[in-house]
Structure 1
Amino acid sequence: MTRLGYGEKMRRWRVAGYREFDRLINASQSTSTLSTAGSKAEGLTCFLESDHDFLFLLKNVICLEAGINLYSIPGGLQVYRMDTHVYPGHCILLLERQTSRCHKIIHNALCDNGNGDVLLSSSLLLDEFSSEIAYTDQLEVVQHKCVGPSLPVTHGGIWHADQVLALRCLCPSVLHRWAARPRHWPSPVIVKKVVILGAILTPVGFKGSEFKHMEWRINFNSGEAELVSNLNDIQAKVYVILKMIIKDIIKPTNKEITSYILKNIVLWQAERNPQTRFSAYSLLHWLHDGLRELRTAIAKKHMPYYMIPERNLMEACGINNKLHRKWVADITDMLEEGPGVILRLEKIRKAIVGSPEPILWYSKKRMELEMLSLEAFKRLAECRYENEMLNSDFVLNSIRIRRREVLIGATTNDPGGLFCK
């Protein structure tokens, strides 16, 4: 796993790299704050291994749960009150205080509920955000159909990104309930940090609700990224292997089972068990424990959300009876197979059965290319801020030259054809 790029050192390096990228981008952002989210923020995927998830947090807007005094909020912020009398982990937003300076996309998403209240529609805001992205993006960017709260785009035919608009949210009661749970993990210092990082709202309602076009989902992206970064090496690798199993063996076609469900399984494992039990010798034990939890979640169609247990992540997930029986049977077969289940995963199988020298050679080349790609990513953000000419930038040109050298050397001196595969 370490040679494939999932070791502790590489994970920490990725997290630091994407945080620096966010800092450089936000130096020139005026209406929103960008943050890398998902597996990239957690350092658990290579540069082009999966989509890049980006959150755009609108400035000058804040959403409050019931009980927070409006007069404690600075006057320059537009304020919405959260009505949480909907499905757990979701809310409806009612305009509490308007400001003279209002985001255009926010203004266009306001509507009247017929009772004199002004509501902020999640579906209308998503439509406005989609139109704005389509208007401002360059020609080489292809925009795809919305998936949940995200707007997927493809840059240059190879680089995929999911863009999500979000609003800042103050819901201390939810975070304090989470923090007060008895636990083995994380430490009190990390618990306090997660509480401080707070919550956001994303424009997506509960799938089974007739009012989903008005509903918003409560998320804890920054806090969850902090939690994942504090998983130990074995817990992180269990999470990665579970994701590989979903992608290579289970193969859901309509996101009936997502990596987010697997993340929650691993977080529950970490909270409920002493950290001393997670060692290199117990990796397969925790992998099988995770598979058993997944099988139970599918069989019962129930997986409590780690931050808000009342929210069922499997509710309205779209698993029909045929898939239900098949996936339960498939996971049962994997559990009965024992340790050999990891040999079903092509990437890991090649690393295990391959000769040490070619695998080590491949690992070094792949990691260097990823480092060069992320350094170029950061430099592009820096040049954008400094308004420099990208084609003449010395650092970018040096990265391009070195990347070309690595690729040429890799294709001409590839032991066993590993790199080409």
Structure 2
Amino acid sequence: MEVSCLVSDILDCIGYNEEIISTRRKYWQNYMRVFNSVQQELSVVVAGSKAEGITSLYESDTDQMLLFNDAICANDIQHLPPVSDFTTLHADTRETPPGYTRLKMISCLGEDSKRFLQESSFKSGSNKFISSSLFLSSIMRETRTTDYCNDIIQIGELSGPAVSRKVMQHLSYDQVVAFPCYCPKILQTWKRRRRLYSWPPVDVREAAASMPAQVVPVGSKLSDDQGREWRFCFILSELELTCSLNETQIKLYILLKMVAKDILKNVSKGISSYMMKNVTFWMSELLPKELFRKENLINLLFLSLVFLKKCVSYSNGLPYYMIPGRNLLAEKLTPDSRQPLCDLIGTLIAEGPRFILLRCNKLRAASGVLISSPTSLKIDGRRRNMIEKLIYLQIILSMNMKDESLISAVVLERMDLLEWEEIVNNCTHEENFALKLEEKISSILS
């Protein structure tokens, strides 16, 4: 219990308390609202840990999905009424692995999506389908020839279906271009699945099952038809689930992400934060809600590691929470990496609760400060949260084209918190000052 409360309190001080998580969620909701109010061709959906509020602006890549506004697909052909000037696609799952689909063209009338779809279509019998690999190639060509990318944004390589982008020195984005998809049968099956306990709550299940899914251009690596398959995603439904987690469940998720990044990736790069989110979902469903209390945090972490070890060792299968038939580990672990990963997880369990303070970088650094100066850890935590809040406020004010004097006041308050005079004294010219300032913000918020 003592270590659980200690770790929980440390997380509060280093950017993971309920207030800052709520602030981040509201910021990204505002960001999407403003962006989508002015954008004609594509709508943006911010995904992953940013939208969930558990990482700061500088802490990791921002995952964005760009959805065509003039196209729609559906798993059930009855949900595709003909609409003028609109592209419609059928998500045909009859010959694909669980969680994947082929996209059959019904109509191609949307002006913005038409060119990409025509460049990536192929015939199968009397039907026309869309190749995920050709679609990705088309998107990549368009991305690399866009004028504004030359100096402002650095374009990276493809990572799965995502194109990486780097803005300035410390902000990175992974962008996926995809299609909205309605698949009520899949979500109704998920909603009606038998559960031992009460998570997710009934109202959350109803809300999650009513939201549109997305199909992204990537196939199963184990499939002979990989380049022609697309994968179902449930970004909005999963966000609804994450936002329904209580404080201890969220902190469990954060700890699992830290374990994956700082420890498990040393022996297997295939263990991702997304897998740890799925582990959190399964643990939340499989355990009674009364267990998810602050004093049980470390015990819950160990139960989660035992669950993950069983998934890796016995079945080599971590079921995708939304479609359990899809194995998240199937494409990620090799026979050579499985046993070392099992051994490492077993070692962590054997080491006991203090491994989390010794092996996870952020917790190790913060626990050292806590021992030497517990008050300063809390003061620094409040300061970092205020700096982060002011950055979000400045961006939103700028996006809404608010009064420059108001924006300047926000910037000035943030600069005071960053102790900018010290940065000025160590800089030789204006460009160097901007770089040093960004480096300092990144070091505080990453």
For 1:368, the equivalent position in structure 2 comes to 386
Say whether residues 1:175 and 2:187 are aligned partners: yes
Paired AA for residue 92 in structure 2:
D
For 2:4, the equivalent position in structure 1 comes to none
The Cα RMSD (Å) is 2.3
Say whether residues 1:120 and 2:130 are aligned partners: yes
SS at structure 2 position matched to 1:308? coil
CA distance in 1, matches of 2:20, 2:112: 42
SS at structure 1 position matched to 2:226? coil
Q: CA deviation at 1:51?
A: 0.6
Equivalent residues in 2 for 1:324-335 (5 A)?
Answer: 324-335=338-349
CA distance in 2, matches of 1:252, 1:149: 24
CA distance in 2, matches of 1:420, 1:239: 19
CA deviation vs aligned residue, 1:300-351 (integer Å, no higher than 9, x gap): 3200000000000011214341x32222111111101111121122322333
**TM-score of the aligned structures, taking structure 2 as reference length:** 0.86
Distance 1:181 1:114, change over 3 A: closer
Say whether residues 1:261 and 2:275 are aligned partners: yes
CA distance in 2, matches of 1:248, 1:188: 36
Say whether residues 1:273 and 2:274 are aligned partners: no
SS at structure 2 position matched to 1:166? strand
Distance 1:373 1:252, change over 3 A: farther
User: Please, which of 218, 224, 227 is the counterpart of residue 213 of structure 1?
Assistant: 227
8 Å CA contact retained: 2:75, 2:182? yes
Distance 1:308 1:25, change over 3 A: same
CA distance in 1, matches of 2:297, 2:64: 31
**Over 6 Å off, 4+ runs:** 409-412, 418-421
User: Please, which of 36, 48, 52 is the counterpart of residue 58 of structure 2?
Assistant: 48
For 1:141, the equivalent position in structure 2 comes to 153
CA distance in 1, matches of 2:208, 2:421: 43
User: Please, which of 59, 75, 87 is the counterpart of residue 78 of structure 1?
Assistant: 87
CA distance in 2, matches of 1:410, 1:270: 48
Q: Which consecutive residues of structure 1, in runs of 5 or more, have no partner in the other structure?
A: 387-391, 413-417
For 2:416, the equivalent position in structure 1 comes to 405
Q: CA deviation at 1:365?
A: 1.6
CA distance in 2, matches of 1:280, 1:294: 22
Q: CA deviation at 1:408?
A: 1.6
Distance 1:409 1:98, change over 3 A: closer
Q: CA deviation at 1:214?
A: 1.1
Paired AA for residue 127 in structure 1:
S
CA distance in 1, matches of 2:289, 2:257: 22
Q: CA deviation at 1:125?
A: 1.7
Q: CA deviation at 1:268?
A: 0.8
% identical equivalent positions: 28
Q: CA deviation at 1:105?
A: 4.0
For 1:313, the equivalent position in structure 2 comes to 328
8 Å CA contact retained: 2:58, 2:445? no
8 Å CA contact retained: 2:165, 2:172? yes
Paired AA for residue 362 in structure 2:
K
Paired AA for residue 235 in structure 2:
N
Q: Which consecutive residues of structure 2, in runs of 5 or more, have no partner in the other structure?
A: 1-10, 424-442
